[in-house]
Structure 1
Amino acid sequence: MMMNAAHCINEYGQPVGEALPDWKPVTLPAGEVLNGRFCQLIPLEVAHSEALFNAFSTAQDDRDWTWLGAEQPVTVEQMQAWVSHKIEDPQLVPYTVIDKMRNQPSGVVCYSAIDTSNGALEIGHVTWSVLMQRRVTGTEALFLLLSHAFGLGYRRVAWRCDSLNTASRRAAERIGFTFEGRFRQVMTRKQRNRDTDWLSIIDREWPAISAAISTWLGEDNMDKHGVQKHKLDRFLL
């Protein structure tokens, strides 16, 4: 049977998917604590609500919530309801991002659309406070999630965002996600149309991406305050 990286040719001369004779379904992420140099991901709890509310309240306005499904909570009680909704959703594995330098919760992120039979999941519900934006903690948090997913044997990690949310798409592409395409009029959100952009990293790509991000995060490039010598794209060749 002839084979290349993308497909095989069967006995009828037809192209078929690459053979996976040893494939077995993977396990559901169990919400383990994920430790990094600059941040720690811990299972989201209602007890984190007040600290998260304080972190999100440092923003001057609610522009970071424009493309999210929810409105920014304006009281601790609303934040508690927002957090509870994520904890109670059986399709999510939600995390609080702890900024180690500040020793405080600074954002929320989830595994979602988890398909253990096919080894695919998404990183979604990415909600960074201004304390995380354009800082090493955001990149490291995503790196920890990617490392954990591929370590569990997942074959694909996806990222999707509003096609008009260019900052989200750039953030994904910056750490190695590949743009796959755009689903037009896939949903409505906040009484507006949403086209959705899809990106992914697959298992055969991950070793090179992982090595690049690890080098970028390392002490030779990143000092203890999270200040880089060289940008990540220097290492993602």
Structure 2
Amino acid sequence: MNSELDWSERPPPALPQRRGRFVAIEPAIFPEAAEALFSVLGGPGNDDLWTYIPFGPFKSTAALGAAMAAAGKKGGWLTHLFRDAQTGAPLGMASYMRIRPEAGSAEVGCVVFSKKLQKTPAATEAMYLMAKHVFDDLGYRRYEWKCDNANEASKRAARRLGFSFEGVFRQDLVVKGRNRDTAWFSIIDGEWPQAKAAFEVWLAPENFDDEGRQRCPLRA
């Protein structure tokens, strides 16, 4: 764990194109990336994906692209597009947010998985690769996950991925006209080696049977 005595500012996240066994990750440049993302995240059949996201759902590629471009410009979000590692088909996205290089801290947020990506090894691998960049490539001290406290699925995902619950900020935000109490989770650098090892054991080929089903759950 980094102490106050040996700490120095780190660079901001800059995850380049990266390919895993299941997923390929690339920087999402808007509006160009909007078409690929809208094809799996947009339209009336995907409205539920945006329930706890500050904007959306979107009825057009242009609207999605404009919203994400604004988030990048105003909020400093660095969004990444997930694709199937074999076919290149778009699968979803997530962003580095609340980036604080001086503190060695960043958040992963605006995690929007298509229905094809949800609950798959590719989804887990995408989160692993984003965390690995922050800790291993950059030497960050802290990696955050925040969500609406009413979003039980997101809280379960955070715990499964190794994030520790830190508490709830009551009446933190107003999102889409409703109150949001924000649940905070984090992984810190001293915890990352164990979390990384768990990810790598879980993602290993021998953890999956011939039909692609896990032999041992990640939480184990």
Instruction: Return the TM-score normalized by structure 1.
Output: 0.85
For structure 1, list consecutive stretches of 5 or more residues without a partner in the other structure. Answer: 6-17
CA shift digits 1:123-167 (9 cap, x unpaired): 111111112111111111110011110011100001000000010
Aligned to 1:13: none
Task: Give the ranges of 4+ consecutive aligned residues of structure 1 lying more than 6 Å apart after TM superposition.
Answer: none
- 2:193 is equivalent to residue 207 of structure 1: yes
Q: Evaluate the alpha carbon distance shift between residue 210 and residue 59 of structure 1 in structure 2; reply closer, same or farther with a 3 A threshold.
A: farther
Superimposed CA distance per residue, residues 35-81 of structure 1 (whole angstroms, 9 cap, x where no aligned partner): 21111110102222222111124873512211111121111222222
Matched residue type, 2:164: T
Higher-Rg member (1/2): 1
1:55 pairs with 2:74 = no
Residue 128 in structure 1 maps to residue 107 in structure 2: no
CA 1:59–1:206 in structure 2 vs 1: closer, same or farther (change >3 Å)? farther
**CA RMSD, 1 decimal:** 2.0
Aligned residue for 2:203?
A: 217
Instruction: Quote the residue 1:117 is aligned against.
Output: 102
Which residue in the other structure is 1:197 paired with?
A: 183
Cα distance in 1 for partners of 2:161, 2:143 equals 12
1:92 correspondence with 2:77: yes
Specify which structure has the bigger relative contact order, considering alpha-carbon pairs within 8 angstroms and separated by 6 or more residues. Answer: 2
1:145 to 126, 130, 136: 130
Query: Which residue is equivalent to 1:103?
Result: 88
**Offset, 1:225:** 7.0
Counterparts in 2 of 1:23 and 1:224: CA distance versus 1, 3 Å: farther
- Structure 1 residue corresponding to 2:24, chosen from 3, 18, 40: 40
Change (3 A) 1:74 1:225: farther
Q: How far is the alpha carbon of 1:31 from its aligned partner?
A: 3.6
Structure 2: gaps of 5 or more residues: none
- 1:148-197 CA distances to partner (integer Å, 9 max, x unpaired)? 10011100001000000010111010011000000000110111000000
When normalised by structure 2's length, the TM-score is 0.91
Aligned residue for 2:12?
28
Name 1:163's counterpart in structure 2.
149
- The SS at the match of 1:96 is strand
Q: CA, structure 1 residues 57+213, in 2 after alignment: closer, same or farther (shift >3 Å)? A: same
- For the residue of structure 2 that corresponds to 1:145, the secondary structure is helix
Alpha-carbon distance in 2 for matches of 1:79, 1:171: 25
